[in-house]
Chain A
Amino acid sequence: MSGAPFLATEHWWDLRDLSNISREILEFLDRVGPDWLAYVVSPLIGFVAAFLLFVLPSQLFVGVYGERRLIGRMQSRLGPNRVGKFGLLQPIADAIKLIQKEAITPRGADKWVMWTAPVVFVAPAVLVWAVIPFGPNMVIADIPVGLVYFLAITALPVLAAFMAGWSGNNKYSLFGAMRVVAMAISYEVALVLGLLGVVLFTSTMSLQAIVEWQREHDIWLVFLQPLAFVIYFISASAELNRTPTDIAEAESEIVAGYLTEYSGMKWGLFYGMDIGYALAAAAFGSTVFLGGWSLFGLEEWVPPWLILVAKTHLFYFVFIWTRGTLPRLRIDQLMALAWKYMLPLAAINLLVVAAERLWWHEAGLGDGIVYLFAAANIALALLLVVGWARVLGYRPERVPTRPRLVKHVGGYVAPGAETGGGR
């Protein structure tokens, strides 16, 4: 792991780098305990710290409380404001309520599958955080294929959702399960192809190294890879079942999708971990595309982990925002979006990146060329999005959004036979 020369001190009280504390603890354990103790304890410290300091509070107070308050604001209502000051204890009250509720298992359900599904859903949500770098030294496992690890782990909840949908012995659940699988297959392909562009540019799959690359070149990958970012955002929101694409648990169509038969804390686990995955996707997105814990030198003054937390929550805010605004797409429209638009665009993007990368290396250009690439890629992305839609036959014709007006009654009004007129 690369060192952090810019950090002023390595004292344990320097909270800009929380790894100082954990290093002190581990060194102490190494001195007093057996050899293996530090190895066993070190990931535990990481997970516990990540969860206590970031994931759990975010899940509760941003994911549950903040989201409900924000959406309440968007919908011109108040949101939860009764439990505790400003309703801050609402998530805890919710959790208590959910724990008290009966976990119903329908008579025809496949009991074992139904009971294991929440567990299968929760476990990856914890493991996901292993590769997210919170700071120069603050990553639980900086494995060289962190990106692949992240993609592999986040593909697991699809299995859990399918188990949940299949086992409930409910037709709506089955609908939801089938939709989850169809959507995951479609969007995973585009997602991976999009992220490959990032990997090509940075020549690494380690998330820490991707952040370092962005710091070294003083540019975020969102500017270099705007198309990949858009594809990542849409795919992530599709896989997370956030509203514009939440067909798997489309409330107005198939009641609650694969969660229809769940109740009590089993449902609560799905609900909570949905937020957990959304946060993980936001953290991953801000790491890969938005510079992670770096902020153009500011990370030497502000704790880097705070920068990442802020970026994650901003990213998550966009999820909330789209959820509060947009209607839902139909499943065939969603599939068409994945296969007809995002997949070819991701492939073209990959080609462009490969060419740029080759040129950069072969011609031995300096690092300043990335700004040129950024400008070119943003223009190209806009051109590609518009052009590809045109190629596939989409015309942004102005559909009439106001009806015709007629003054007198009669039978059918042929086009052009309007007699009315507003004021």
Chain B
Amino acid sequence: MTEIRSEPFVVNIGPQHPSTHGVFRVKVTVDGERIVDAEMVMGYLHRSIEKLAEERTYTQNIPFTDRTDYLSSMSNNLGYCLAVEKLAGIEVPPRGNAIRVIMAELQRLASHCMAIGAFANDTGAWQTPVMWTFREREKILDLFEMTSGARLTCNYMRIGGVAFDLPKEFEPACRKLLATFPSFIDELHGLLSENEIFIARTRGIAVITPEQAINASLSGPMLRGSGVAWDIRKADPYCGYEQYDFDIPVGYNGDSYDRFIVRLEEMRQSVRIIEQALDGLPGGPYRTEVPLALRPPKGEAYARVEGPRGELGYYVVSDGGPAPFRFHIRPPSFINLSLLKEMTVGGTVADAIVALGSVDIVVGEIDR
């Protein structure tokens, strides 16, 4: 009797694939449904933002940061502005800091909405969770539109503060949103995290041990999902995060399900932070006036914020001129992808999609 032998073959998941969330490609070698090898191919969206930024003044570079991670433009603005402020030694007034916190946390809510919806879509829930999360995300984007005039690429933070003060109608609208948001999270919790099929699809898939996670420089929900308590808002508080009371959710064994519930819990904590920030919103100026053509002294600065996807770092080197000499972004979802091969090999194609979805990539940020 001859032995039945199967031959591995290569399948391109992406660049045009419903589940790669952009033009990202994974070349997987499959043996039947099992994945035996995976290789990432990226760069389809490479715009060389780091090079472009060397030609423009510090203020002109803020819109570029919108376009890296287009799902969390506020956090990106914030990280860049913090780096330049650190470089130039600029203090931000308390009101500006509070507004920044509110905006960054609203952005985290919006981004996690997107992440959870897309992740549920990857597990095959036929569009329902993603539509629900989009519904809530729209409300947050309305708030952004009210404040900054833009919905997606807000370009709201400025060096030394924020671009505009909050409009009068912002606070009631934001409080209205916050009043309904916890019930929406409960709804998602009921729809997904207690769903037997969803648990079966995500629990134990793409497990990352804490040692692996730390060694591979993962950050954000990926790191916390593995049970490592690390959150830059707590570890290295910026914008006055030390005034607010919130908890860090950590997962149990680092599988896709843990990353999902960590994201869900982070949304609850974000709601808490925004409520506190709104309650204690100080008066006064919202921005320190800085010259438009800012010339920071010679030197370098690395500032990081806890973006929705993890540690979002900006490394800016100044040579005393009006433009940054070197401008480097530490993109969280790019580095979170380091372990993709370890996460996917051995599983099925369906597991690979779930693993990729749990990383929550934004291709604009990976390729820059």
Is A331 a contact of B33 with CB atoms below 8 Å?
Answer: yes
**Chain A residues closer than 8 Å to B252, beta-carbon distance:** 400, 403-404, 415
**Residues of chain B in range 244-285 having any CB-CB distance to chain A below 8 Å:** 247-252, 258, 261-262, 265, 268, 272
Is A399 a contact of B203 with CB atoms below 8 Å?
Answer: yes
B interface residues, how many (CB within 8 angstroms): 58
B302 touches A (CB below 8 Å): no
Is A252 a contact of B348 with CB atoms below 8 Å?
Answer: no
Which of B46-54, B62-70, B191-199 forms part of the interface with chain A? B191-199
Is B227 a contact of A330 with CB atoms below 8 Å?
Answer: no
Is B350 a contact of A330 with CB atoms below 8 Å?
Answer: yes
- B212-245 vs A, CB cutoff 8 Å, 1 = contact: the mask equals 0010000000001011111100110000000000
Is A405 a contact of B350 with CB atoms below 8 Å?
Answer: no
Determine how close the nearest CB of chain A comes to the CB of B247; give it in whole angstroms.
4
**Residues of chain A in range 55-86 having any CB-CB distance to chain B below 8 Å:** 71, 74-77
> Of A77, A252, A328, A412, which is in contact with the most chain B CB atoms at under 10 Å from its CB?
A252
A325 touches B (CB below 8 Å): yes
> In the bound complex, what is the Cα–Cα distance between A332 and B272 (angstroms)?
41
Is A401 a contact of B193 with CB atoms below 8 Å?
Answer: yes
- B195-208 vs A, CB cutoff 8 Å, 1 = contact: the mask equals 10111110100000
Of the candidates B18, B200, B234, which one forms a contact with A409 in the assembled complex, judged by CB atoms under 8 Å apart? B234
Of the candidates B126, B131, B353, which one forms a contact with A253 in the assembled complex, judged by CB atoms under 8 Å apart? B353
**Chain A residues closer than 8 Å to B191, beta-carbon distance:** 325
Q: CB-nearest residue of chain B relative to A250?
A: B124
Is B258 a contact of A326 with CB atoms below 8 Å?
Answer: no
Given A75-B132, A409-B235, A326–B189 Cβ distance below 8 Å?
A: no
Is A328 a contact of B123 with CB atoms below 8 Å?
Answer: yes
Is B348 a contact of A330 with CB atoms below 8 Å?
Answer: yes
**Residues of chain A in range 382-423 having any CB-CB distance to chain B below 8 Å:** 399-413, 415, 418, 420-423
Is A175 a contact of B247 with CB atoms below 8 Å?
Answer: no
Is B194 a contact of A401 with CB atoms below 8 Å?
Answer: yes
Q: CB-nearest residue of chain B relative to A398?
A: B194
> In the bound complex, what is the Cα–Cα distance between A326 and B121 (angstroms)?
10
> Of A175, A409, A415, which is in contact with the most chain B CB atoms at under 10 Å from its CB?
A409
B305 touches A (CB below 8 Å): no
Of the candidates B189, B229, B251, which one forms a contact with A408 in the assembled complex, judged by CB atoms under 8 Å apart? B229
Of the candidates B123, B124, B199, B249, which one forms a contact with A405 in the assembled complex, judged by CB atoms under 8 Å apart? B249
Determine how close the nearest CB of chain B comes to the CB of A411; give it in whole angstroms.
6
Determine how close the nearest CB of chain B comes to the CB of A248; give it in whole angstroms.
12
**Chain B residues closer than 8 Å to A250, beta-carbon distance:** 124, 350
Determine how close the nearest CB of chain A comes to the CB of B167; give it in whole angstroms.
27
**Chain A residues closer than 8 Å to B351, beta-carbon distance:** 330
> In the bound complex, what is the Cα–Cα distance between A244 and B189 (angstroms)?
19
Of the candidates B127, B193, B248, which one forms a contact with A407 in the assembled complex, judged by CB atoms under 8 Å apart? B248
**Chain B residues closer than 8 Å to A74, beta-carbon distance:** 128
A333 touches B (CB below 8 Å): yes
A223 touches B (CB below 8 Å): no
- A78-121 vs B, CB cutoff 8 Å, 1 = contact: the mask equals 00000000000000000000000000000000000000000000
Is B131 a contact of A411 with CB atoms below 8 Å?
Answer: no
B11 touches A (CB below 8 Å): yes
A318 touches B (CB below 8 Å): no
B19 touches A (CB below 8 Å): yes
**Residues of chain B in range 15-33 having any CB-CB distance to chain A below 8 Å:** 17-19, 33
A interface residues, how many (CB within 8 angstroms): 50
> In the bound complex, what is the Cα–Cα distance between A319 and B199 (angstroms)?
22
Q: CB-nearest residue of chain A relative to B224?
A: A403
B115 touches A (CB below 8 Å): no
B135 touches A (CB below 8 Å): yes
> In the bound complex, what is the Cα–Cα distance between A247 and B124 (angstroms)?
9
Is A253 a contact of B195 with CB atoms below 8 Å?
Answer: no
Given A326-B197, A332-B348, A412-B228, A403–B261 Cβ distance below 8 Å?
A: yes
Determine how close the nearest CB of chain B comes to the CB of A300; give it in whole angstroms.
41
Q: CB-nearest residue of chain A relative to B121?
A: A252
Given A77-B131, A330-B348, A421–B230 Cβ distance below 8 Å?
A: no
Is A252 a contact of B18 with CB atoms below 8 Å?
Answer: yes
> In the bound complex, what is the Cα–Cα distance between A406 and B249 (angstroms)?
6
> In the bound complex, what is the Cα–Cα distance between A330 and B169 (angstroms)?
48
B152 touches A (CB below 8 Å): no
**Chain B residues closer than 8 Å to A418, beta-carbon distance:** 250
Is A410 a contact of B350 with CB atoms below 8 Å?
Answer: no
> In the bound complex, what is the Cα–Cα distance between A101 and B180 (angstroms)?
45
**Chain A residues closer than 8 Å to B335, beta-carbon distance:** none
Is B18 a contact of A403 with CB atoms below 8 Å?
Answer: no
A171 touches B (CB below 8 Å): yes
Q: CB-nearest residue of chain B relative to A179?
A: B33
> Of B120, B121, B228, which is in contact with the most chain A CB atoms at under 10 Å from its CB?
B228
Given A75-B128, A246-B124, A329-B197, A406–B248 Cβ distance below 8 Å?
A: yes
A323 touches B (CB below 8 Å): yes
A-B contact pairs, 25 of them (CB 8 A): A71-B127, A76-B132, A77-B131, A175-B33, A246-B124, A247-B350, A251-B124, A252-B19, A252-B121, A252-B123, A253-B19, A324-B126, A325-B191, A327-B125, A328-B126, A331-B350, A399-B199, A401-B261, A403-B249, A404-B250, A405-B249, A407-B248, A408-B229, A411-B214, A412-B229
* Chain B interface residues (CB < 8 Å from chain A): 9, 11, 17-19, 33, 120-128, 131-132, 135, 189, 191-195, 197-201, 203, 210, 214, 224, 226-231, 234-235, 247-252, 258, 261-262, 265, 268, 272, 348-351, 353
The 10 closest A-B pairs by CB, nearest first: A328-B124, A420-B247, A75-B131, A403-B249, A405-B247, A327-B125, A412-B210, A406-B229, A327-B123, A409-B235
Q: Given A406-B250, A409-B234, list of 4 further CB < 8 A pairs?
A: A77-B131, A331-B348, A403-B252, A404-B249
